[in-house]
């Protein structure tokens, strides 16, 4: 049976500690929806610690605040979470939003971009490095009805592409999971048709930690 310890896409034992040794972050805040809050379904052999909580655990930050709330759209995340996130005075922030917007046929990519941009730039202006995400494409979940699949897939792809372009423009630490080799694997998705599994969180954590390590290593070289 495949487990987190034997999964080639997950972190090897001791890998995170080695990669993150000497990292500069001490105050980590998370803004977002259910992806940030953590609603992945359990998988035997994998930790049930959710993605953002895994990051905080591996970073060993002294101060961690997760503001994520399931079901929120991008404008609701900004309205309810940006102020407390800024008050926390973070030096590292994770911003995840737009997934609930993209579930609707009324999805407005420009409006989502505006909301994400407002959150990212405010956090950066306050001194935080910001992590953004291109999500696994949940349209591949077997729980998604066939008639919904094409439209949802197109909208989730648009969200991912737009978020990556925004990340390049705003210079965030971007984690792009949409093109991951397992993104189309139906077993990566929860039976509820909206979320991932503990395996998807383990893979997302591995990719994020490797990206964070590359970022602060590059920054350290530039400062030296």
Mean pLDDT of 140-147: 84
Q: Answer yes or no: are the C-beta atoms of 212 and 23 closer than 8 Å.
A: yes
CATH number 3.40.50.1110 is the correct assignment for the domain at 15-219:
yes
Positive or negative torsion for Cα 167, 168, 170, 171: positive
Q: Answer yes or no: are the C-beta atoms of 178 and 17 closer than 8 Å.
A: no
- Cα(8)–Cα(75) distance, integer angstroms: 37
Q: What is the token pair recorded at 116? A: 């994400």
- Render pLDDT for 196-210 as a digit per residue (tens, 0 to 9): 899 999 999 999 999
- Top-confidence range, 59-63, 183-187, 212-216: 59-63
Q: What are phi and psi of 65, to 5 degrees?
A: -135, 120
pLDDT class of 80 with cuts at 50, 70, 90: very high
Mean pLDDT of 98-116: 95
Q: How far is CA 195 from CA 36, 62, 105, in A?
A: 11, 29, 18
Mean pLDDT of 12-38: 94
- Cα(104)–Cα(85) distance, integer angstroms: 27
pLDDT class of 194 with cuts at 50, 70, 90: confident
- Cα(63)–Cα(216) distance, integer angstroms: 19
- Cα(139)–Cα(186) distance, integer angstroms: 9
Q: What confidence score (pLDDT) does residue 222 get?
A: 37
Q: What confidence score (pLDDT) does residue 218 get?
A: 65
Mean pLDDT of 16-44: 93
Q: What confidence score (pLDDT) does residue 7 get?
A: 92
- Cα(104)–Cα(204) distance, integer angstroms: 24
- Cα(138)–Cα(149) distance, integer angstroms: 9
From 29, 37, 24, 25, select the one nearest 87 (Cα to Cα).
29
Q: What confidence score (pLDDT) does residue 193 get?
A: 67
Q: What confidence score (pLDDT) does residue 159 get?
A: 96
Q: How far is CA 77 from CA 99, 102, 179, in A?
A: 12, 15, 26
Check pLDDT > 80 for residue 29. Answer: yes
Residue linked to tokens 């034992």: 13
Q: What confidence score (pLDDT) does residue 41 get?
A: 86
- Work out the angle at residue 187's Cα, subtended by the Cα atoms of residues 214 and 32, and round it to the nearest 5 degrees: 50
Q: What is the token pair recorded at 69? A: 């709330």
Check pLDDT > 50 for residue 223. Answer: no
* pTM of the predicted model as reported, rounded to 2 decimal places: 0.93
Mean pLDDT of 176-184: 89
- Render pLDDT for 118-140 as a digit per residue (tens, 0 to 9): 999 999 999 999 999 998 888 88
């Amino acid at each position: 049976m495949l487990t987190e310890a034997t999964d080639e896409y997950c972190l090897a034992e001791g890998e995170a500690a080695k990669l993150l040794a000497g990292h500069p972050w001490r105050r980590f805040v998370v803004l977002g929806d259910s992806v940030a809050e953590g609603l992945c379904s359990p998988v035997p052999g994998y930790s049930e610690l959710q993605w953002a909580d895994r990051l905080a655990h591996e970073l060993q930050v002294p101060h961690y605040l997760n503001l994520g709330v399931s079901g929120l759209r991008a404008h609701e995340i900004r309205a309810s979470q940006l102020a407390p996130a800024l008050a926390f005075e973070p030096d590292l922030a994770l911003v995840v939003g737009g997934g609930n917007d993209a579930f609707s046929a009324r999805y407005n990519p420009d409006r989502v971009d505006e909301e994400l941009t407002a959150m990212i730039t405010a956090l950066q202006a306050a001194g935080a490095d910001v992590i953004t995400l291109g999500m696994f494409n949940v349209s591949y979940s077997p729980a998604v009805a066939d008639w919904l699949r094409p439209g949802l897939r197109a909208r989730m792809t648009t969200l991912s592409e737009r978020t990556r372009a925004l990340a390049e423009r705003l210079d965030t630490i971007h984690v792009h999971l949409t093109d991951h080799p397992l993104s189309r694997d139906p077993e990566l998705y929860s039976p509820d048709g909206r979320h991932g599994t503990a395996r998807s969180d383990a893979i997302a954590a591995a990719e994020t930690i490797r990206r964070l390590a590359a970022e602060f290593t590059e920054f350290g070289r530039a400062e030296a």
